[in-house]
Structure formats: C-alpha cells, structure tokens
A and B are shown apart, each in its own frame.
Chain A
Amino acid sequence: NAGVTQTPKFQVLKTGQSMTLQCAQDMNHEYMSWYRQDPGMGLRLIHYSVGAGITDQGEVPNGYNVSRSTTEDFPLRLLSAAPSQTSVYFCASRRPSTQYNEQFFGPGTRLTVL
C-alpha cells in the first residue's frame, strides 16, 4: 500500500492564481480530511469528508473548495490564491471505526503564494 499520497510536494503561485492540491489513498478509508500547518498554530482542519459525495467545513474553510467523487481521491482547490494561504497542507484518512481512532497523514504539500 502506498498509503496517503499528495501531489505536488512544492508549489509556488502568484496572488490570484488557482490550483488543485491532489490527495489519494489506497486503504479504502471512508473519512478524509485536509489540514494546514502554520508556525505556532499546529494543524488546522480545512475541510473533511465522511464518504464519496459528502463534504463539510472545518475550522478554516474560507478560500478553499473540496469535492469527493470517489472514495480514493479528495482534491483541495484554491480558486484565487492569497499570500495568507502560504502554508504546508496535509491530507489524512481513516476508517470510521478503528481501535485507536488514528488518522494516516500524507507527506504534505508546501505552498508559497507570492
């Protein structure tokens, strides 16, 4: 199993540009989430999904869109990038019922918005 994969690893955007961060998992996990990590702030939840076709907002959803058409993929879209969206983005997945409630994280995408 590849686990949770994210592409690209690095990205530089100009203000106003749009892009999609890709996330895929091969563990057949129903739950998937997007987090951003900023210095001194920990990880903050952007959007999450409990299954294909179902998404909901997290703590910091503004400026981001998501959709979930398959169990495996959960892309994150930035429609008009802003410097405040400079961050490291992590995707995570888990099963609904596990012994430890653990989520599995991808390696992250480092995004810089100029």
Chain B
Amino acid sequence: DQQVKQNSPSLSVQEGRISILNCDYTNSMFDYFLWYKKYPAEGPTFLISISSIKDKNEDGRFTVFLNKSAKHLSLHIVPSQPGDSAVYFCAGDLNQGGKLIFGQGTELSVKP
C-alpha cells in the first residue's frame, strides 16, 4: 500500500514559467508534509513543509498547497530556474520519531 504517491515521474518546464509538482496521499494521520529536492549523488535537501492544519505555505519562489478533502498536495515553483532541475520528493510525516513516508519522486527539468 503506497501511502504517498507522485504519479508523474518527470516534468519539463521552460525557464521563467511555473512548475507544478503533485503528490497524493492516503493516510489521514500525516501530521506534516515535506518537500525535498535531490541532486544526483547527493542526499535530499529540505525545501519546504506544511502542517496538516494549514492549506498553504509560501517561502520565496516555492509555495505548497494542501487540499485535505482530496488528500492532495502540490508544490509550485515560480519562476522556474535551470538550477531547479532535480528530483523532487514529497513525504508525509507521521510525527512518530521522524518517520517519513516518501513518494516515488518527480524529476523536474527546467530548460533555458
């Protein structure tokens, strides 16, 4: 049972446009949702998170939206830059000692 799903393995966007990465979940017990960015041969780095009691969180070019009724969250990157090209993982946090449940990841390619 995949509790967190990212159904798009890849996404290609032009520089300056908006990138929208999507994530669906099934477990209503997630306390937080997090987005991580990963470059090849490096560990994931934290990008932005949202509490399950909120519906939007914004940090610079990055905004995460949470729709609890649809069990869906999305990450918006505006404007997209070539340096944003990476694999993006969403994760649900059960708030049980740091247990994160990750989606499969979406590879974002931002073309100049």
Contact = CB atoms under 8 A, between A and B. Distances in A.
| Chains A and B are bound partners | yes
A66 B42 CA distance: 23
Given A42-B104, A43-B89, A106 B43 contact: yes
Contacts of B99: 33, 45, 48, 58
Interface stretch (B14-22, B44-52, B65-73): B44-52
B98 A100 contact: no
B97 A101 contact: no
A41 B32 CA distance: 21
A75 interface: no
Contacts of B97: 31, 48-50, 56
A3 to B, nearest CB: 9
B46 A104 contact: yes
Contact of B104 (A41, A45, A94): A41
Contacts of A31: 97-98
B63 to A, nearest CB: 15
Does more than half of chain A's interface fall in helix, strand or loop, or is it mixed?
A: strand
A105 B43 contact: yes
Given A48-B98, A101-B49, A40 B104 contact: yes
A43 B34 contact: no
B47 to A, nearest CB: 9
Contacts of A100: 32, 34, 46, 48-49
Interface of A: 4, 31-33, 35, 40-45, 48-50, 56, 58-59, 90, 92-94, 100-108
Interface of B: 4, 6, 9, 31-32, 34, 36, 41-46, 48-49, 89, 91, 93, 95, 97-105
